[in-house]
Amino acid sequence: MASSAHSTPSVKYRYGEMTWPEIREAAAAGRVAILPVATIEDHGYHLPVDTDVLLCTTVCERGAALIPDECVLVPPVIHGYSPHHMDFPGTLSIDGHTFIKYVLDITKSLAHHGFTRILIVNGHGSNTPFCEIIARLTVIETAGNAIAMAVNHWGLNTVREVVEQIRESAPGGMSHACELETSMYLAIKPELVDMSKAVAEVNPYPTTSIPAWTDLVAGRPPTSSAVAWMPYWSTFSQSGVRGDATLATREKGEQILAAAAEGLAALVRELRQLEVGPRVDHH
Ligand SMILES: [Zn+2]
């Protein structure tokens, strides 16, 4: 195990840098394939459009570097499902059906080469239901030979734990281009964040049954029903921010990144060792 996320591990783990015999060996060794997926879209006046890609790939890179001989890090899928953000210049959106088929083709290719454990790590909220479907379809379309799972980087248990300790925003403050995402970007490339333009836009739907806020970590208000919906982003946010970006700090971002890397490495280990029972056909 590498002593630090920033040291250079001796074992190759970046899939794109490996030769095909090395990849064949990695699959045979039961290493977990980590596939980052994100999107390019508006993130307020203060953050670049590559926010989801940068945060997700950084979490995956740092997590993989902690356990280089137990995983391979597949090059990221940087384009995702963002049609509800198209009112904001810069957003690039992939049709939902195309996205599912495209990412499923990648997971099935990995399974074809012998990777039996695949972890999709998502960095864009609206990719979430699609990533869940892709993980399930990977299992079904490989007849159970490959086990695929999907997780959002902010959904890692270690991230939730640290965020609950350090957040300053009320629930609703961490949703998009928010306290969480801005802090993480500040920890990676502070020169690209303009905090003088950071704003807070919270609580667009003050009702009791429809979520008054959604929060990456706190979830939804206890008074709301578990309804699923997503209106066009421009109907509730002028800046593109949903949450409170003004509370972001580099220190918080560093703590969140460290927690995410640890949580991801632990999850990869668990997935690698997970015992899945044999299918039983009861016909
Ligand atoms: Zn984002």
How far apart are the CA of 181 and the centre of ligand 1, in A? Answer: 6
How far apart are the CA of 1 and the centre of ligand 1, in A? Answer: 30
Question: What would the two tokens of residue 262 be?
Answer: 């640890």
- The whole-number pLDDT of residue 8 equals 55
> 């806020």: which residue's tokens?
213
State the sign of the Cα–Cα–Cα–Cα dihedral 47, 151, 97, 218.
Answer: negative
Residue among 182, 197, 211 at smallest CA distance from 55:
182
- The whole-number pLDDT of residue 210 equals 83
How far apart are the CA of 88 and the centre of ligand 1, in A? Answer: 14
How far apart are the CA of 241 and the centre of ligand 1, in A? Answer: 9
Q: What is the largest CA-CA distance in the chain?
A: 66
How far apart are the CA of 33 and the centre of ligand 1, in A? Answer: 23
- The whole-number pLDDT of residue 1 equals 43
154 CB contacts (<8 Å, ≥6 apart)?
Answer: 160, 163, 174, 180, 216, 217, 260
How far apart are the CA of 220 and the centre of ligand 1, in A? Answer: 18
Indicate the class that CATH gives domain 21-273: alpha beta
How far apart are the CA of 138 and the centre of ligand 1, in A? Answer: 25
How far apart are the CA of 276 and the centre of ligand 1, in A? Answer: 33
- The whole-number pLDDT of residue 209 equals 82
On whether the pTM is more than 0.85, the answer is yes
pLDDT tens per residue, range 154-163:
999 999 999 9
How far apart are the CA of 150 and the centre of ligand 1, in A? Answer: 17
How far apart are the CA of 177 and the centre of ligand 1, in A? Answer: 6
- The whole-number pLDDT of residue 3 equals 46
Beta carbons within 10 angstroms of residue 182's beta carbon: 30
Using CA atoms, how far apart are residues 13 and 53, in angstroms rounded to an integer?
Answer: 19
Amino acid present at 54: L
How far apart are the CA of 43 and the centre of ligand 1, in A? Answer: 6
Residues of the chain short of pLDDT 50, as ranges, are: 1-4
How far apart are the CA of 175 and the centre of ligand 1, in A? Answer: 8
Q: Which residues of 105-143 are buried (b: 16+ CB within 10 A; e: fewer)?
A: ebbbebbeebbbbbbbbbbbbbbeebbebbbebbbeebe
How far apart are the CA of 124 and the centre of ligand 1, in A? Answer: 6
Q: Output the CA torsion 249→253→255→261 (10° steps).
A: 180
Answer for the pair 159, 131: CB distance below 8 angstroms, yes or no: no
How far apart are the CA of 200 and the centre of ligand 1, in A? Answer: 15
Q: Output the CA torsion 248→2→31→52 (10° steps).
A: 20
Using CA atoms, how far apart are residues 178 and 240, in angstroms rounded to an integer?
Answer: 10
Using CA atoms, how far apart are residues 194 and 265, in angstroms rounded to an integer?
Answer: 31
How far apart are the CA of 153 and the centre of ligand 1, in A? Answer: 11
Q: Where are the domains of the chain?
A: 21-273
Question: What would the two tokens of residue 213 be?
Answer: 């806020």
How many residues comprise the chain?
283
